[in-house]
Amino acid sequence: MKSIELIGKGKEMHGRAYIEVMPDELENAIKKLKENGFNHFVMLSCIDWLEEEKFELVYHLWSYEVKEHVMLSVRMNRNNASMPSMSHLFPQIETYEREIHEMYGIEFDGNNRLTPFLLENWHHAPPMRKDFDSEKFVGKLYESIPFIEEDENEGI
Amino acid sequence: MDVMGIAIKVALLTAYAVIGTCVGLLFMGIGRKIIARVHNRVGPPFYQNFIDVAKLLSKKTNISHGWIFDLALLFSISGILLTLLFLPIGGVQLLSMEGDAFLVLYLLAIPALGFALGAGASGNPNAGVGVMRALVMMLSYELPFIITLIALMIYYDTTSLATIVRMQSINGVKSWAITMPPFMLAAFAADMALQGMLMEQPFDIPVAPHEIASGPMVEFGGKYLGSLMLYKAIALVAETTLFVDLFLGGGVVAHGNFAFVINFIVWLALIFLLFILSILIAASFPRFRIEQAFGFYWKYEAIIAAISLIWVYILVIK
Amino acid sequence: MLDIIFAELIIAAIITFFVGKKIASIIAGFISILPLFALIDWANNFGFKTISFGIERQMNISVAGITLHLGITPLSWFFALMILPLFPLIMLYSYSFFKENDGFYPFMLFAFASTFGILLSKDMLSLFLFWEIMSWSSFLLVYRSRDKEAIISYLIFSVFSAFAILFGLMILWHENFSLLLSDIGRINGIYGFIAIASLIIGFSVKSVLMPLHAWAPFVYSKSDEPFVAFLSGGLSKLGYYGMFLFLFTLNGVKILQNYTPNVAWNYLLAVVGSLSAFVATMLAIMQDDLRKLLAYSSIGQLGYIAIGFGIGTPLAITGALFQAFNHAFFKAVLFLAAGAVAYRTGKWKISELGGLAYRMPLTFLAALFAIFALAAIPITSGFAAKWLLYEAAIQQKYVFIAPLMLIAGVGAFLYSFRILYGVFLGENRYPDVKEAPKSMIAAMFILMLPLIIFVVFPGYMLDLMKPALSNSGIESIAHTKFAIETSLAKYNSMAVLITLIAAMVPAFIIYKARKHRITSFEDNYLAGEPYEFHNPSMHAAHNFYKPLKGVVLPYFEPGATYYFEKIYKGIGILSNGIRRIYTGFVQDYAIYVVIFLLAVMGWLIWM
Amino acid sequence: MGLYIGDKMMKYEEWSKLAIKVSKASLWMLHFCTGCGAIEMPPVMTSRYDMERFGIAPMATPRQADVLLITGYLTVKTLRRVIQVYEQMQSPKYVIAFGSCTINGGMYWDSYNTIKHLEKYIPVDVYITGCMPRPEGIINAFIKLMELIDEGKARGWEKYQKYYDKYKENQRRVFNFEIEGENEEY
């Protein structure tokens, strides 16, 4: 596949190219792909590998010329996770980074708009992390709010 | 005029105001039923609009946005009743000798302006856009309507509606304006203008519930909306009656002992037919855009109306 | 007594030049009430019983062998009745409008004195003299705006108007060898025709008739509001005064008809008036600047008067005079209200204003009533005037004019609502704005009084203009106090008002039957979005009549202003060319002198 | 007709029978189509089920509507808008909650941002169970609501007025994700 040839590593996975890169190689890899026809940035996704204490960011790119989907995977430590922002390469990455910052708590250096985005008034742990116990949270918040019972004696 | 005469006149006017309101609400209910049948639905009962108005007027809380907002309620009902009473209805002159067609044309603006003031006072942007559309619509449909009106006026050499009705009722149906070829064209143009006046589809651009949240009415609820429904009901009667007075001899077919009853029934039947026509057009067409409506009226309708005006002018000059 | 009034106006004008703003406005206000006493006195001569102050009807001033004949006629009395009362009220308004006395009052008083003079003049010389004083004092008032386009356009058109009038008057004098206006009727033939035509063209500049309107949008939108109120309300009527004077009182219509029996020149005037009404209304709809909107609206409303004069039947002339009277007051109120809004907010763009109705309720009420009169809602006196004009057009079967007039009447609703919604309703953008100062409010409400009186009693208005009409040989139309009757129909203002009040009863019962709660502006339905999250403006007044934009602007705007832009540019090029002569080199000037001397010598030799 | 002049009105006892009759026969509905339930609305309105025969009509704004129909799950963010809309409606007003999501969270029972019981934040008069309920269910709910109005039991709006502070407290807690005894700031 063209992208694997360009970067020099990676493998084919379900018809797509899957390339693992180091955080410091990422910028050059995206730049190289962009210059060689992979000019559609599809999306940025994130996976929480709780057991391995890692976050995995996946940058999806697409080339209209060779009709090829490439996934650039980069891993980082789970504690104080941070990555350099790629929004200067594709401006739309900024919005994905905002969402991932809000949902996973990953810092993106160089992105100035990491403000509250989708959640209003949220001040708990980032909810998409695997150590965020959603069930327990629901029990503590939603189930603890009381029903409003009418006082039978008073009537309305 | 003696006291008795004034009392009778006031009683007659009150009776026609009540009749106009009831007939309007009834027609709106029947219109909903007919649209439902066209859609292959059962539809609400024909008295549904009476229930709706009663419900709105009996709402427990009502929100106002200040005294200018209240003008909508006060002016919409009073203005449209005023308009109704200045029309000859079924051969009964009411107050139509005290004014003329131009007065009626301008009286129709009182409730609209009051309504627009109230809508604007709410501060809702949808209301502002809705009123803007309503006014542009008004500018659009008034042109063909005015031209046809002038054609009638110069033909009968009067501007008084009562006189126009009297001159058309000399020979019964045969002397109605619509039996003459130039006025057939004019009646077509005026009927399309009526469609816009009634704000039925395809000209329901000002209210457009799916685009601008029912436009000017966006902040109206409870008694305010109830009064606006009453306004709409009376406006329906007033506007169709205006058309009937202009082209269909005001529904006057009989002279003599029971003429009053017969003329009333004929008038009712004629405005009902006009309303049904407009409802059927409404049921079969989607909504225009505002520029399309403007173009429709100022290009095609105005030309049709202008042809009839020129035709009538040549007839009159000869 | 009359000379004392004039002298006092002139002296007051000089005094106000030196004193402070407040004293100046008080002096100007009180002095300008004096002519009103004269009007009240003169009313005795025209069949009304009023108080008499012993002011004479005629006065001759002899200066250096030339006699100026001044005197009141029924026509000038009626026009004075609509123009002169504006003045003290504008002075009352300006009491709080101006920050300092910077030359407004003296010129305004000069303009006033000359207006009074124009109305009183009975010979051509005084008419032209006062016309020039009026033009120049109003030009100096326009000059205060420091706006190049306004100044130059007013200058060009005023000079053109003055030349046209002078040309007409000179021909009349040359034919007649009499300066008295009353002698004009004897003239016939081509000279009479040219004279009357050129006079009408000259006057139609002041009465902003299209196509000679091009100065109005610039001047109205840049000058001080009190002056613009006078310009639009008062001075524009002087143009129509002149037209009426020469067309009907002095039989100009007959002079035109005698020369060209087959051409209906009236009809041309009516067509110009109706096009003026229609095009200006369409352009007014598209304006975002409040003052420009009002300027175009003035052009449109004044067009109706020209229609009335053009149709020329008693019905039409009555309607035209009625419309002139109404327009003087409602347009003055509107300009003053616009000035009050700008005084408090400092904004002129309609899309930048909004929500002032609850902050400035009295200003809003005044503007609302004036707008009702402008849009000819039947609960105001504006309707009676327009109704008479419509009737006249139908009576004469003018099928081209009538639709244009009526559709312009509908268009008036559109721009009226643009003012109402954009400035006074809608989003509450100025929560801290206070009501306009008391003197402004007082001025606006007093100006509304005639509009209220003549809605209830339109018949009184017809009584007032009866002497003017009968003096010109025009019969007045059948009327009672409340009702006007024509051959076509009848309009009874009392029936409308009583029925409206009676119809208010059910509305009021519905209104009172259920309580309502007044909620704040923030509590608005925005598809569920809370107001505090809704950051951008909620005012829908920006680009208000956008659907009409593609229809109106390409067809109407170029036609209305194109030729003026050409003139404007042409004069710029011409002036530049002339300026090149002054090169600044002594040699060049020496050559000019030599050429001039050679030319003179050559001429002498040739002689 | 339930019309009283001046201050004498606004007593619950004076709520005349005719007013109840008319308000039951003319239910104007505002459908807050957040969830998947919105797809069930077109069949209810069109020729197969035709809700208009009962006098039920869709409305464009809350000012005009009597019934708030909530079709499906509500996140905390949407709940804020729903409450805004509910408070803009004019009394008497009713709420019909549609689908299991509004009853107990439904398939979003463990979601961190979907509210579980709508009744804790605004009073609900009629629930429609099911995921999804059929159009017949919606019609049935409206008829049930009419019965309740007739019997004088559909008084959610009065409950909201009476326990306004409690409802506001619940709403405040859920908007701020406020867990008792836990004020951790991330």
Q: Tell me, yes or no, whether A88 lies in a domain.
A: yes
Residue of B nearest to D90 (CA): B61
What CATH number is attached to the domain comprising A26? 3.30.460.80
Nearest to residue C236, comparing CAs of C156, C318, C327? C327
- Least CA distance to D62: which residue of chain C? C525
D38 is a domain residue: yes
Domain ranges for chain B: 3-317
All partners of chain D with 3 or more CB pairs under 8 angstroms: A, B, C
Kind and range of the H or E element at C575?
helix C546-579
CB contact under 8 A, C407 and B142: yes
pTM attached to this predicted model: 0.86
Domain membership of residue D8 (yes or no) is no
Task: List, as ranges, residues 530-549 from C with C-beta within 8 Å of D.
Answer: 530
Q: Taking a C-beta distance cutoff of 8 angstroms, is the pair D79, D115 a contact?
A: yes
The confidence band for D3, taking pLDDT boundaries of 50, 70 and 90, is very low
Candidate from D166, D178, D186 with C-beta closest to A148: D166
D84 occurs within a structural domain = yes
* DSSP state letter for D97: E
Interface of D with B in 1-30 (CB under 8 A): 1-3, 10, 18-19, 22-23, 25-26, 28
DSSP-derived 3-state class of residue D24: helix
Q: How many domains does the structure of chain D reveal? A: 1
Give the N- to C-terminal CA distance of chain A in Å, as an integer.
74
Distance CA C339, CA B101 (A): 37
Encode pLDDT of C330-352 as tens digits: 888 998 888 888 888 888 888 88
- Cα separation, C371 vs C333, in Å, equals 9
| D57: containing domain | 29-175
Average pLDDT over residues B160-164: 86
| Digit-coded pLDDT (tens) for C162-205 | 888 888 888 888 777 777 777 776 677 777 788 888 888 888 88
Report CA Rg, chain B.
20
Q: Which chains touch A (3 or more CB pairs under 8 A)?
A: D
Q: What pLDDT digit, counting tens, does each position of B242-301 carry? A: 898 888 887 787 777 788 888 888 888 998 999 999 999 988 888 888 888 888 888 888
| D177 contacts A138? CB cut-off 8 A | no
Identify the residue with better confidence: D34 or C511: C511
Per-residue model confidence (pLDDT) at position C46: 78
A142 contact partners, CB below 8 Å, separation of at least 6: D105, D115, D116, D117, D174
What's the confidence (pLDDT) of residue D9?
45
The stretch C409-413 carries a mean pLDDT of: 89
Interface list for chain D against chain C, based on CB atoms closer than 8 Å: 3-6, 9-10, 32, 61-63, 80-82, 84-85, 88
Is the confidence at residue C581, as pLDDT, over 60?
yes
Per-residue pLDDT averaged across B232-244, rounded? Answer: 90
Q: Smallest CA–CA separation between B98 and chain C, in Å?
A: 5
Chain A CB contacts of D158 under 8 Å are 156
pLDDT band at D182 (very low <50, low <70, confident <90, very high): low
Read off the pLDDT band of D167 (50, 70, 90): confident
pLDDT at C599: 92
Q: Is C525 in CB contact (< 8 Å) with chain D?
A: yes
Which of chain B's residues have a Cβ under 8 Å away from the Cβ of D89?
221
pLDDT confidence band for B26 (50 / 70 / 90): very high
A142 and D115 within 8 Å at the Cβ level: the answer is yes
**Which tens digit of pLDDT belongs to each residue from D117-127?**
888 888 888 99
Token pair for residue C293? 């909107």
Residue C535 has pLDDT above 80, yes or no: no
- Identify residue C163 by its one-letter amino acid code: F
Q: What is the pLDDT of residue D14?
A: 53
Q: Report the CATH number that the domain containing residue D40 is assigned in CATH.
A: 3.40.50.12280
Mean of the pLDDT values across residues A64-78?
A: 88
Q: Mean pLDDT throughout A19-43? A: 87
A145 neighbourhood in chain D, CB within 8 Å = 117, 120, 170, 173-174
Query: How far is residue C32's CA from residue C19's CA, in Å, rounded to a whole number?
Result: 17
List the single range of A57-61, C41-45, D43-47, D92-96 with lowest mean pLDDT: C41-45
Residue of D152 and D57 predicted with greater confidence = D57
Compute the average pLDDT of residues C452-456. Answer: 81
Percent of chain B with pLDDT over 90: 9
Is residue D6 in a domain?
Answer: no
Is D85–C513 a contact, with Cβ atoms under 8 angstroms apart?
no
Q: What is the pLDDT of residues C124-143, one digit of tens each?
A: 888 888 888 888 888 888 88
The secondary structure of residue C207, as a DSSP letter, is: T
Q: Do chains A and B touch (3 or more CB pairs under 8 A)?
A: no
With beta carbons under 8 A apart, name residues in chain B contacting C482.
Answer: none
Residue B151 CB-half CA count within 13 A: 32
Give residue C185's pLDDT: 64
Check: complex ipTM more than 0.95: no
What's the start-to-end Cα distance of chain C, in Å? 58
Mutate to test the interface with A, among D113, D114, D170 (most CBs of A within 10 A): D113
User: CB C512 to CB D61 under 8 A?
Assistant: no
Give yes or no for B218 touching D (CB within 8 A).
Answer: yes
Amino acid letter, residue C107: F
Each residue's pLDDT tens digit, C266-282: 888 888 888 888 888 88
Closest Cβ opposite residue D60 in set B45, B62, B213: B213
**Tens digit of each residue's pLDDT (9 = 90 or more) over C357-373:** 888 888 898 998 889 88
The answer to whether position A94 is within a domain reads: yes
Average pLDDT, chain B: 86
- Give the count of domains, chain A: 1
As a whole number, the mean pLDDT across chain C is: 83
The answer, for D155 touching chain A at a CB cutoff of 8 Å, is yes
Residue D159: closest C-alpha in chain A: A156
Chains in contact with C, where contact means 3 or more Cβ–Cβ distances below 8 Å, are B, D
Residue C74 vs residues B149, C238, C310, D159: alpha-carbon distances, Å: 38, 15, 21, 75
Would you say the C-alpha torsion C31, C37, C42, C47 has a positive or negative sign? positive
- Nearest-CB residue to C515 (from D9, D32, D85): D9
Q: Mean pLDDT in chain A?
A: 85
DSSP 3-state of B106 = helix
- What range does the domain containing A42 cover? 2-129
Q: Stretch B219-230: mean pLDDT, rounded?
A: 87
* B135/C495 touch (CB, cutoff 8 Å), yes or no: no
